Amino acid sequence: MKTLSISLTALAASLAASAAFAGDKVVFGTNWLAQGGHGGFYQALADGTYEKYGLEVEIRQGGPQVNNRPMLIAGKLDFLMAGNLLLSFDNVRNGIPTTVVAAIFQKDPQALIAHEGAYESWEDLTTAPEILLSKDGQFSYWKWMVEDFGFRDEQVRPYGYNLAQFLSDEKMVQQAYATAEPLYAAAEGADVATYLMADYGWNTYATTIETRQQMIDENPELVQRFVDASIEGWYTFLYGDHTAGYEAIIAANPELTVEKLDAEMAQVRELGIIDSGDALELGIGAMTDARIAAFYETAVNSGILEEGDLDLSKVADTSFVNKRHGIEIKTAAEGN
């Protein structure tokens, strides 16, 4: 009888241990190949933060031939790293039940770049003979630039997603992702001035976390755990030991190096992309209904959207953020 009791006790302990290490499986899709701008997610995966929150997370990269957005809607992903709020507005407008639950970037990294000294200011860019823009850019932020600053459609030339035209013409201006093209141009020997659109009124959040409304309704506790763990990952990546995050990013995208990641993250900090604005007080991931409404107004006034064509209350659920979660990681790091 004693032997049976010991066996049952051992079995119970084994089952308890298994339960402790068995996490809820979560599939998270990014919007591009692994990079520093995804760092907090890779950090949380690599250093065990997701595991600490009882999550078994798989990160699926986006990329040139990969569009992860439909995968969220189809239930192949549980969470999606989205771009800015325009696509979230579009989902709501089209009755697609996805919801933003956190905003990692307080500033959209979308920018224009020019050669250093070619123009004196953002407003002076309206005199540029040519501006290289993608189709997406022409139908989104360009409308805002025309409406608010007087840029002209005659300036637009198609952007071929390489720097050759820019590098060969000192007066050329082109669209850029502030943590990418300015660094690539500098590596080619160009002195570049970066004009972050967020600093001139393009007031959308970026690198948001989206999920299906069904997930929020049926398992809000899992949503909270994923958001909290991701936020901790970002604080550690920015202010703590980011070695594990770097290694995970490079393993996923071997074209990157420590030096390239350092340069990207230095740009993120210099431009105040993540830990700025409301995030300073409310924590990384912060978003407010007022800010979302303000960007909607920007989009409407610029002719990107029509007034009243979507229910703003369905765009985001702010209940998972704005709790100062993870700030203690930054405080502890700054105290050392």
Q: What is the pLDDT of residues 149-173, one digit of tens each?
A: 999 999 999 998 899 999 999 999 9
Q: For the whole prediction, is pTM greater than 0.85?
A: yes
Contact criterion met (CB below 8 Å) for 265 and 111: no
Say yes or no to pLDDT of 197 above 70: yes
Please, what are the domains in the chain?
21-107+204-335 (3.40.190.10), 110-200 (3.40.190.10)
Q: For every residue of 64-101, which 3-state class applies, written as one string?
A: CCECCHHHHHCCCCCEEECCCHHHHHHHHHCCCCEEEE
| 3-state secondary structure (DSSP) of residue 274 | coil
Burial of 145 by CB count in 10 Å (0-12 exposed, 13-18 middle, 19+ buried)? buried
Residue pLDDT, tens place only, 15-54: 333 344 468 999 999 999 999 999 999 999 999 999 999 9
Instruction: Say which residue the tokens 């997610």 belong to.
Output: 41
pLDDT, residue 23, reads 87
Sheet of 24-29: strand order equals 55-60, 24-29, 79-81, 206-212, 98-105
Say yes or no to pLDDT of 1 above 60: no
- The vertex-131 CA angle with 294 and 88, nearest 5°, equals 30
| 3-state secondary structure (DSSP) of residue 210 | strand
